A and B are shown apart, each in its own frame.
Chain A
């Protein structure tokens, strides 16, 4: 009796140590993650210059965001830049995955190509932005000089016209991210049992048939995951367009993204409109939340 009692109390002691172990995480988490989220929510219901008093104004900031055509333009810019990017990024990653997973081609050098394709992704977006800003310079940039050698006589003003500026950012994003998508899709394919492909091959299924009936359905969850995480990341796009188009999203606001718009009110304008910026943050957050919920729904349906 006594023996078993000491045993259970000792066991309880083990478990109590868990509180000590999670304490640093919980403390920092509450202060630096939870509090800022709640504080932003509180500020979103007020007018606030970043100092002095906060005046509670109810839903006024939110109503203003919804009626602000510049906010919607910024969001639309973000979505335009993102959509061109994701189609190219996933398209290239997909074709690469098909090529490397083909059991008849048996391509070599996966490790090498994967590393090279991923290379642009580890460079800081700030350095990438300046690299391309300089390479794409209208009058003196190296890219127009190279194009001239191939017979493009009139230099293209890449970053000076709204459409080409947006397109340039999409292409730079694609350059930075297709390797990442390729690695994720490839990891998914390598998880597929090789026997499926052998069996399909014996049954006379061609390359495209086995791709369509085996690879594609099994890759669907990863594909969806990559698209959704890319969209959530895309809504938060900042570094690249900010450094290429500066705070106003030159030319003509075409490269101003939603987070750049938030930044403008929360940190750059004089006086700051911190309450308004917070409302922008929460409206973007609600959009991301809805997208995430749809993701969960779609994923779970797949599993049933």
Chain B
């Protein structure tokens, strides 16, 4: 009996914590439908009828859909490049014997520990030297070299790839690159997907580097655009519009999360088991 009471209390605590996780989003959605004045004077969970006004105020100030599209244009190619080239590099390191292999591997391990933000200055200096400020190229191309992903996929490949399969394909006369595309990559898909999800979220949410590299407001990715709310006088005082802008930036990710939370969570578990 005492055990049952304990269990009920435990479920209550767990549910309370779940509410704490969701309430800020709920308040955001409710407030996005209320006028700035209503929000300032009282609190309620009943939606108001200023949805359209707030929407117009936000899109009169900036085009958030452009921001969503810009983020998409950066995050999707970056994720594809990371997935493909990390898989290819991991394949080379796991399967072949060649000079310099160990040096490459240890350099990868060392660079996994060097925090990216600390080479920010050299990176900015390089990009401006290459005359690539305000371009998406330096936000996308570096994704080809993702040391952490290569490391993970190499370990993954070594545990799932039967070498006899490669030998068999070679005897059949398949080219090495064809073996990778037709045989190895399909085997790696679960591992690649795990890394791709994490990589996509990281790219999508990235703020500091796009902030430094992009100058033209039309080119801003979503986080940089949202951050520009800080500088605005007219919209900054209208809380209804701020909540609306936040809702537009957050709701797409919430919807994606509803469908693939399982995969996202397994990608974190994978990260911990690796250690």
Which A positions have Cβ atoms within 8 angstroms of B? 14-19, 21-22, 24-26, 28-29, 31-41, 43, 50, 92, 96, 99, 104-105, 107, 109, 111, 113-120, 122-127, 130-132, 134-135, 137, 139-140, 142, 145-146, 149, 175, 179-180, 183-184, 186-188, 191, 221-222, 225-226, 232, 235-236, 238-239, 243, 246, 259, 262-263, 266-267, 274, 277-278, 281-282, 284-285, 288-289, 292
Contacts and interface: CB of A to CB of B under 8 A. Distances in A.
B212 A22 contact: no
9 contacts: A25-B145, A28-B142, A40-B119, A109-B14, A115-B265, A187-B273, A238-B117, A288-B113, A288-B115
Contact of B272 (A96, A111, A184): A184
B56 interface: no
B21 interface: yes
Contacts of B207: 124-126, 238-239
Interface string B119-137: 1111111100000000000
A268 to B, nearest CB: 10
Contacts of A43: 121-122, 125
Q: Interface size bucket, B side?
A: 35 or more
Contact of A113 (B14, B24, B142): B14
B21 A25 contact: no
Given A22-B104, A113-B14, A145-B42, 6 more contacts: A28-B142, A33-B111, A36-B126, A40-B120, A104-B3, A183-B268
A185 B230 CA distance: 37
Interface string B190-225: 000000000001001101100010000000001110
B39 A142 contact: yes
Contacts of B126: 31-32, 35-36, 39
B125 A126 contact: no
B147 to A, nearest CB: 7
B118 A285 contact: yes
A259 B180 CA distance: 41
B274 to A, nearest CB: 9
Contacts of A96: 14, 17
Given A118-B264, A134-B242, A32 B141 contact: yes
Given A29-B147, A116-B21, A281 B98 contact: no
Contacts of B138: 32
Interface in B79-138: 85-86, 88-89, 91-93, 95-98, 101, 104, 107, 111, 113-115, 117-126, 138
Contacts of A238: 117, 207-208
Given A15-B96, A145-B42, A239-B207, A99 B121 contact: no
Interface of B: 3, 6-7, 10-11, 14, 17-18, 20-22, 24-25, 27-28, 31, 39-40, 42-43, 85-86, 88-89, 91-93, 95-98, 101, 104, 107, 111, 113-115, 117-126, 138, 141-142, 144-145, 147, 150, 170, 176-177, 180, 201, 204-205, 207-208, 212, 222-224, 226-227, 229-230, 239, 242-243, 245-246, 249-250, 253-254, 257, 261-262, 264-265, 268-269, 271-273, 275
A183 B264 CA distance: 11
Contacts of A259: 117
A281 B230 contact: no
Contacts of A116: 18, 21-22
Contacts of A132: 24
Given A17-B96, A118-B264, A120-B21, A187 B272 contact: yes
A149 B43 contact: yes
Contacts of A111: 262
Contacts of A32: 123, 126, 138, 141-142, 145
Contact of A39 (B27, B122, B145): B122
Contacts of B265: 114-115, 118, 183
Nearest to A282: B118
B10 A28 contact: no
5 tightest Cβ-Cβ pairs between the two chains A and B: A36-B122, A39-B122, A18-B96, A40-B122, A145-B43
